[in-house]
């Protein structure tokens, strides 16, 4: 009974996940859990395997070995769109907006339903349009609602992509450097937004190089180094861990 209760509280579980590229072990026997309604940070020096791990969870790469569970369901054999249907979405380091569509129309597109009819139905839904305009207003982008997304700056496109991820009624959101390229005056706003979405029942796995953001919002932090899990714990533990400091600062 106890094991069942623990699994019910887990949104995502990685068990000895591994991925090689030639002779390089990009992810090497990595295991950890992400609890429901939590914010879990994934940090590490460049080349430590963070984005590769995101690609494994979202299905863009196939595992060499190991298992990935979403709740109690094993998902590492599912195609990427099937994982989206289960409620897993992600953003990317390089923004992926539709450049010729307006900013608001970009927000109308995301849906967990892959049927074409559902896409058009969602795009015309009054509730979704209202939600999109609320998100743009919150991010200070409402004045650009009718502007082609390709005309926006990198930071603005990053905010649009972040808003797109929140348009989907989903359980797990994986954010790849959400504060990168964003005006520093908006970073606190994005941070507060993530917290608010967590209170609404969302679970987050976040890659982030801004240590102020990581230490402030994360419930738990996973540290990767050379593809291996170097450390795991609460922000205060990670911040004072000499092994983590050596990995980042070289001693």
**pLDDT score recorded for residue 190:** 84
Please return the burial class of 4, using the count of CB atoms within 10 Å of its CB with bins 0-12, 13-18 and 19+. exposed
Which one has a higher pLDDT value, 166 or 94?
Answer: 166
Supply the pLDDT for residue 8.
46
Q: Is the pLDDT of residue 16 over 90?
A: yes
pLDDT band at 1 (very low <50, low <70, confident <90, very high): very low
Grade residue 125 by pLDDT with cuts at 50, 70 and 90. low
Rounded distance between C-alpha atoms, residue 207 and residue 214, angstroms: 9
Mean pLDDT over 79-93 rounds to 86
* Of the listed ranges 38-42, 87-91, 118-122, the one predicted with least confidence: 118-122
Give the residue with greater pLDDT, 206 vs 178. Answer: 206
Q: Please give the mean pLDDT across all residues of the chain.
A: 85
Average the pLDDT over 141-160 and give the result: 89
pLDDT of residue 48 exceeding 50, the answer is yes
Question: How far is the C-alpha of 85 from the C-alpha of 111, rounded, in Å?
Answer: 9
What average pLDDT does the segment 202-223 reach? Answer: 93
Whole-Å CA distances, 4 to 1, 9, 10, 32, 40? 5, 9, 10, 17, 22
Q: Give me the architecture of the 2-249 domain, per CATH.
A: 3-Layer(aba) Sandwich (3.40)
């Amino acid at each position: 009974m106890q094991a069942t209760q623990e699994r019910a509280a887990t949104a995502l579980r990685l068990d000895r996940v591994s991925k090689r590229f030639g002779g390089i072990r990009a992810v090497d026997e990595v295991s950890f859990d992400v609890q429901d309604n939590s914010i879990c940070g994934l940090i590490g020096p460049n080349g430590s395997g963070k984005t590769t791990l995101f690609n494994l969870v979202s299905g863009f790469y196939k595992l060499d070995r190991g298992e990935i569970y979403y709740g109690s369901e094993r998902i590492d054999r599912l195609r990427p769109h099937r994982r989206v249907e289960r409620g897993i979405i992600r953003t990317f380091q390089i923004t992926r907006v539709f450049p010729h569509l307006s900013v608001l129309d970009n927000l109308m597109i995301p849906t967990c339903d892959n049927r074409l009819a559902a896409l058009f139905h969602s795009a015309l839904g009054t509730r979704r349009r209202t939600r999109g305009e609320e998100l743009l207003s919150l991010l200070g982008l409402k004045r650009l609602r009718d502007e082609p997304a390709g005309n926006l700056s990198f930071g603005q496109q990053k905010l649009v992509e972040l808003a797109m991820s929140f348009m989907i009624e989903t359980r797990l959101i994986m954010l790849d450097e959400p504060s990168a390229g964003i005006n520093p005056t908006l970073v606190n706003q994005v941070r507060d937004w993530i917290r608010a979405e967590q209170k609404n029942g969302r679970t987050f796995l976040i890659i982030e190089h801004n240590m102020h953001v990581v230490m402030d919002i994360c419930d738990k932090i996973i540290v990767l180094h050379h593809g291996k899990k170097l450390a795991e714990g609460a922000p205060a533990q990670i911040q004072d861990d000499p092994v983590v400091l050596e990995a980042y600062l070289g001693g």
